[in-house]
Amino acid sequence: MPLDITAIRHDTPATLTCAYLNAGTNGPLSRHAAEAIAAANQSQLSAGRIGPGIYEKSLAISTDLRSYFARLLGADDDEIALTHHTTDGMNIAAWGQRYQPGDEIVTTSLEHPGGFMPVFAAAKRYGVTVRVVPVAVTDDGPTTAEKIIAAITPRTRLAALSHVSWKSGVVLPLAPIAEKIHGVGGLIAVDGAQSAGAILVDVKALDVDYYACPGQKWLCGPDGVGALYIRHERLADTHQTYVGFPSLRDGNAYDDNGNYLAGSTAKRYEVGTVYKPALAGMLGSLRWLEALGHAAIYAQIQAITRHCRETLAAIPGVTVYTPASQAGLTSFSIDGVDPAQAAARLGEMGVHIRSVSNPDLLRASTSFYNDEGDVEKLRRGIEEVISEQ
């Protein structure tokens, strides 16, 4: 059944105030998330944060949340760790390996710092070589995959790659890369910041080892909640870089000498107390999205993104760079116009996209709550920017 976009826009009220075309940075907060956060805050205020049943209730929210993320990614519940954001997950994967001097990590020139920096920081500490595969924003998925596969050697321990590039928007075919890297005994960690909630993700079919995702972008959740998939086979041999109470098998599973028993699930990578209303908010959003149907959401994102791409490509003076094998991002430029200035000017007109640098481009995000009216506002805004030159 097609989605009821009018109802969805009502459930993401920010989309009623502007052309909201920047899920790639932050999606609109869903009403379901906001209401769950407000209810949890109110409960903390009036009933307190301790007392009979309160701890159990918050554990149940976390357990439910792991299940929702697991279904979103095609994982088992015990393969999901709750994190604060994508970057958390990429750090857990990058720091969690048993590197030997001379080992290599493969990544690309189009990664976001959230995936790129953990790799370099870990590499510096452990004497590992990072091979940065040069990728152009116009390279399609298979071309990018071929370049990455060619860079994998018998010394490659880890490939850290975005499923969807934040600069080009292209969807990377992960399975052939996973096959190659597993063949040399290495692992693959995926930055899912621009894919989770935007396209179908099936971590088992992709055969990846780690998959990190945020709640605040395509899933319309609050800031500060994300998830990391860690496949069963990697739970035993991925070092815990940070540890704490939730990482333990149970609250007494440690001694005065620092010996401890870690939990057997991915929860072993969770540490310390988190902001519980945000967990409730994330759960509210994921419940809503699952009820709408993820497949219908992905189909709508594909349709509106195709429309956006065609509309942009038809504007004289606009060049679209994103290859057609894209998720919800479209990167483009306007002849003779600085992308940062154009994004700022469009923002003044109520059209919210962003610019990226190196290469300097504009980037529009189209999601399931966007309609053709939003794309039309973008088109008119660009024409206005061009006419002001």
Residues at the contact surface with ligand PLP, assessed by CB under 6 A: 25, 85-87, 112, 114-115, 162, 166, 191, 193-194, 214, 226
CA atoms within a 13 Å half-sphere pointing along the CA-CB vector of 77? 7
In DSSP terms, 156 is beta-bridged to: 104
Tokens of 173: 């075919």
CA atoms within a 13 Å half-sphere pointing along the CA-CB vector of 294? 20
Nearest approach, Cβ of residue 258 and ligand PLP (Å)? 30
- Separation between Cα atoms, residue 71 and residue 81, nearest integer Å: 13
- Separation between Cα atoms, residue 278 and residue 223, nearest integer Å: 7
Nearest approach, Cβ of residue 235 and ligand PLP (Å)? 22
* CB nearer ligand PLP, residue 62 or residue 87: 87
* CB nearer ligand PLP, residue 218 or residue 369: 218
CA atoms within a 13 Å half-sphere pointing along the CA-CB vector of 272? 6
Nearest approach, Cβ of residue 360 and ligand PLP (Å)? 17
Nearest to 307 by CA among 335, 332, 323, 330: 330
* CB nearer ligand PLP, residue 17 or residue 25: 25
Question: What b-and-e string marks burial along 211-245, b requiring 16 or more CB atoms within 10 Å of the CB?
Answer: bbbbbbbbbbbbebbbbbbbbeebbeebebeebee
Nearest approach, Cβ of residue 115 and ligand PLP (Å)? 5
* CB nearer ligand PLP, residue 212 or residue 337: 212
Q: C-alpha distances in angstroms, 184 versus 90, 97, 147, 310, 331?
A: 21, 15, 16, 41, 34
Nearest approach, Cβ of residue 254 and ligand PLP (Å)? 30
* CB nearer ligand PLP, residue 286 or residue 385: 286
Q: Phi/psi at 323 (nearest 5 deg)?
A: -65, 160
Nearest approach, Cβ of residue 25 and ligand PLP (Å)? 6
Reduce the DSSP state of residue 231 to 3 states and report it. coil
* CB nearer ligand PLP, residue 193 or residue 385: 193
Nearest approach, Cβ of residue 161 and ligand PLP (Å)? 10
* CB nearer ligand PLP, residue 32 or residue 354: 354
* CB nearer ligand PLP, residue 162 or residue 366: 162
Nearest approach, Cβ of residue 116 and ligand PLP (Å)? 9
Q: Where do the H-state alpha helices sit in the chain?
A: 5-11, 31-46, 54-73, 86-95, 113-126, 141-151, 174-183, 203-206, 232-235, 276-292, 294-313, 339-348, 372-387
